[in-house]
Structure 1
Amino acid sequence: MIGENRKDWDRLIWECRECKDMFKAETESYNQHTSKTEGAHIIQQIIHCEQDDETNTFEGYVRYGNNGEDFIAFDVKTETWITLVPEAETVKQEWDGNEVRNKFWKNIVTGLCSTWLNKSLTYGKSYLNRKDLPSASLLQENSSSPVTCHATGFYPDRADMFWRRDGEQIHEGVKHGDILPNQDESFQMIVDLDVSSVPSEDWMRYDCVFQLSGVPNVIIMKLDKDVIKSNRRKALTGNESNEKKVHF
């Protein structure tokens, strides 16, 4: 969602560059009004905003730190600076008088920061609440191999997959694989069923079930030889079967 609006990104880039220029100017002013000991010093700036969804209230601030300790903060409501240590008083006096810069920080906190906070929250909620069902298939390397129930493309990774016989979950002859990530941020998983001792006439008693957490619908695949994808070749003709070739 955020990446679709080029104007939003252009504005954010411009505002970030302005923030960098303001930070540079205030750092130079800060250095002029504070006594410094020898050695390296670290000046930190935090631009913070938060919103309460229940009360719909918004708060934000700009704060500077010196070597990890709070130094001075900007009060958005009064558009003035608050000293957090006595040494910040001379800095406050100069910065309070720069109305243009103070208006800029107020707009950053109440405008840009608030806007992007809401955009991020909206995007985050839609992403976290995402539910994608997988494509599922039955695979078998050859006629003596276990039948693999394979589901891929699901999200999130809170899912379960198992084999049943006559509608009841079974554990004997079943081997579960790990849930693995795909390159598109979705997931995949497999569950094998040893069919070496299952008579052909009993295959239709078995099925594989996939369940994604939070989704009422389930995917059920009957153990049917006609739908299994495999690498098997027709023994008599030497030609590949019409089933899709799958490499393990």
Structure 2
Amino acid sequence: MASISDVVGVQQKSIGQPLKHSLKFFFTTSSEVKNFPDFVVVGLVDEVPLGYCDSISNTAEPKQDWSKKMIEDDPQHLEWYTQRCLLNQYNHKAQIYILKQQLNQTEAVHIFQRMNGCEWDDETGEVNGFVQFGYDGEDFIAFDLKTLTWIAPKPQAVITKHQRDRDRPNNEMWKHFLTQRCPELLKRYLALGKSSLLRTEFPSVSLLQKTPSSPVSCHATGFYPHRAMMFWRKDGEELHEDVEHGEILLNHDGSFQMSVDLNLSSVTPEDWRRYECVFHLSGVKDDIVTKLDKTVIRTNCGKTGILTLPVIGGVVGLLLLLAVCITGVFIWRRRDNGFRPTNSSDSSSSDPSSVKDAALN
């Protein structure tokens, strides 16, 4: 049986590969979470927030200048998203109620999530799609687009898998959305927002070190698009040991930042010249290579404030993402292309009717 990672892994493989674009929708429904909307959905084009809706406003809200212009020219598009927001909200809240009853759970904090979308290669025309559900931060069930069947990662979800496998019309609906409707929307959004979504911006790259004994961090900020890779290499060969890769974060201006740390505790000063940091931006031929040179490392040893800028930039970027979209996926993080476990187990079943409108179509 194929794994969930096999099905939804397409969303991470885009990093480092040129010419692939994505449209993704993230849903989070919660119960007993104070001071937080109990339903949030966000759409992203190439990881850039397209629009947002939650159970407080109950109205879809565009988040980019080009998406606002799109709504002005086509008000029905906004109405369509708003209707989908309301319908999914009611269905997903019912899901949590059903799962709590099935698992005999108390009125504690519970999270039900869904992520679905598509990727399109504008060179080959290849389209891939994914649908995945999670409960309390763990994988629950995912759709296999090739076989039009569902994958259950745990025995508790097998009943739901069989229910949904038998619902052929619903599975065909998912196929249509993932292979037809979603790519059509993606192409439309790329055309409308091409001045920003299809731009290329190169980063500034710095070497940072907190103390002389700390790892050296190669930090790149201000690049676009997010499809980028950064790594350390020695004598021209990529390093995998003593290296720690950070996540790609969103900056306040819509660009991205990332870092990769190198532990030099076992490296002699004479060997430093053999190391270099490489930044690769998808679709760009030439890489940015930064030699490991002690004279160019920025450090706060004996000073204050020098290393705070990248950190602040990351915090601002995270806060922006929180305000725009991460509120919709605050439990979901990339962990083998799945959901991160919390303090609750997987579900045993789910109401198949809840995905009748699940594709936002």
TM bracket (short chain):
0.3 to 0.5
Work out which structure has the larger RCO, using CA pairs closer than 8 Å and 6 or more positions apart in sequence.
2
**TM-score, scaled to structure 2:** 0.33
Find the structure with the greater CA-based Rg.
1
